[in-house]
Structure 1
Amino acid sequence: MSTERRRVALVTGAAKGIGHGIALRLATDGFDIGIVDLASQRNEAENLADRVRTLGQGATVISADVSDQRQVFEAVEETAGQLHGLDAMVNNAGIAQVKPLSEVTPEEFDQILSVNVASVLFGIQAAARKFRELGVRGRIVNACSIAGQSGFPMLGAYSATKFAVKGLTQAAAQELAADGITVNSYCPGIVGTSMWDTIDELMSRYNGLERGATMRKYAEGIALGRVETPEDVAGLVSFLVGRDAGYLTGQSVLIDGGMIYR
């Protein structure tokens, strides 16, 4: 009988949206899942854990604010302790902001930097320490965006955070390569989630279009002719944490159906 340890992945912002899709896909791939999200998302996170368990995988739910370094390190420790290891860290949590740059307040800028950038830094730090402790050649995957490849008007602060994630990904990949740890990012486009519903609604306040019109406008530029799903993104993450991606590091990979070409 095989005594091989089961693989473990931690996904932040996993209760809904892209993170939810990633967690379910990795569970299907055979990972036990550490589900990390805000306390306000506890019910959704527990429902996800139940679904992971029906797939025959272990799951643990941890309420944490990923903009707090201590809480991120504790979430990694708790996941590794309860699920007996850690092999992949998916720094997925993030927020959007729709506003012209001239109107962004210091408080708003601090918030989006904390959630979208600092959380990724803390996730890299915590995962790298745990991987080294366990002697694991782990995988770190970060949430970037097409807005980390090209700046978008009305999404200037958000774009800035995603460019920062791309930079962190490149630097971390080089610093951690000697330990066999890979670091990559995924760059989605227009994904049919509650975040994009919010972006669409806020855009309508500035451009005067009816709700739904902004998403339709952006979607017209997708070569493959449809809005992206969380499952589309999850398929790329599955590859990035899988055995076939062992020689890929420092990359921010576009998965947008054909919107931005680099």
Structure 2
Amino acid sequence: MPSKGIALVTGAARGIGKAIALRLADDGFDVAVNDISANSEALAKVVDEIETKGRAGSAHVADVSLDEQVRGMVEQVVETYGRLDVMVANAGIAGIIPVAEMTSDKWDHVMDVNAKGTFLCYKYAGMQMIKQGNGGRIIGASSIYGKQAGGAVNFAYTASKFAIRGLTQAAALEFGPHGITVNAYAPGAIDTDMLAEVATEDNPHQAIIESFKKQSPLGLIGVPADIANMVSFIASKESQFITGTQISVNGGTFFD
């Protein structure tokens, strides 16, 4: 089957990013996946899964917080496939750091990965899509905490996700005349490895899950496929009249 286009998904070695990459492969896209070098082995396995689905896949190791690495990553994808049609800037980090323990270095690290990393992905993907002249889809990863602060999150994480909301709107205005839509997904609680990593002895993983279930009128916690399903639509031609939005996928935990 001919390819629907070329997609690049960052932070794709596990969790939401991996689910997005595999769903886009199911949708008919050839998919380039990215993560940091520490996750290169897991990233290679994602490529294997993409190829098992009959689509082309490739791994691109890069730190999204570094300008030259993001630029090089986009260039590699274009050298490999000839173009870039969908950018999913999914890579991000989280953590629970009380304000008294929030050092400038910790703040900068979260902002560099989440906010600057998304900016760089938007920038270089947008420039490439403008050059191609056929439009495109740019998609970022915000959060329920990019709409309303709350819960056990740190100051930097909340600020970084609010930044993605503004960045997405600004990019939609600038790239819109070129037929490029720019949107973000705003997940609520999703049961991933990242959620497990914030568990403590006093607040174990299962207790966190049950707490989030109680916050949803559906009595559910999300799974990575819930986000991948939304991204599938945003990346499609059918989403052509949607841009500048931050779409909630949170089981009703927060109403816009």
TM-score by length of 1: 0.94
Question: Which amino acid letter does the alignment assign opposite residue 40 of structure 1?
Answer: A
Secondary structure of the residue aligned to 1:212 is helix
Question: Cα 1:59–1:106, aligned 2, differ >3 Å: closer, same or farther?
Answer: same
1:161-195: CA deviation from partner (whole Å, max 9, x where unpaired): 10010010011111111111110000111111011
Secondary structure of the residue aligned to 1:220 is helix
Residue equivalent to 1:157: 156
Question: Which amino acid letter does the alignment assign opposite residue 156 of structure 2?
Answer: A
1:88-142: CA deviation from partner (whole Å, max 9, x where unpaired): 0000000002011222000000000000000000001100111011112010000
The share of aligned pairs that are identical, in percent, is 36
Range with bigger deviation, 95-104 or 113-122: 95-104
Residue equivalent to 1:190: 189
Structure 1 residue 98 corresponds to structure 2 residue 92: no
Residue equivalent to 2:165: 166
Residue equivalent to 2:105: 107
Question: Cα 1:21–1:211, aligned 2, differ >3 Å: closer, same or farther?
Answer: closer
1:28-107 correspondence to structure 2 within 5 Å: 28-107=26-105
1:204-219 correspondence to structure 2 within 5 Å: 208-219=202-213
Residue equivalent to 1:176: 175
Paired positions, count:
255
Question: Which amino acid letter does the alignment assign opposite residue 133 of structure 2?
Answer: G
Q: Is the 8 A contact 2:212 2:221 kept in 1?
A: no
Gaps of 5+ in 1: none
Secondary structure of the residue aligned to 1:182 is strand
For 2:99 and 2:151, how far apart are their aligned partners in 1? 8
Residue equivalent to 1:23: 21
1:20-72: CA deviation from partner (whole Å, max 9, x where unpaired): 00000000000001111011111111111011011110011011001001111
CA shift at 1:153, angstroms? 4.5
For 1:6 and 1:152, how far apart are their aligned partners in 2? 39
Q: Is the 8 A contact 1:100 1:154 kept in 2?
A: no
Q: Is the 8 A contact 2:3 2:29 kept in 1?
A: no
Query: Which of 216, 226, 229 is the equivalent residue of 1:235?
Result: 229
CA shift at 1:210, angstroms? 4.2
Residue equivalent to 1:121: 119
Question: Which amino acid letter does the alignment assign opposite residue 129 of structure 1?
Answer: M
Query: Which of 246, 249, 256 is the equivalent residue of 2:243?
Result: 249
For 2:161 and 2:136, how far apart are their aligned partners in 1? 23
TM-score by length of 2: 0.96
For 1:28 and 1:211, how far apart are their aligned partners in 2? 31
Gaps of 5+ in 2: none
Secondary structure of the residue aligned to 1:200 is coil
Pairwise CA RMSD of aligned residues?
1.4
For 1:87 and 1:222, how far apart are their aligned partners in 2? 35
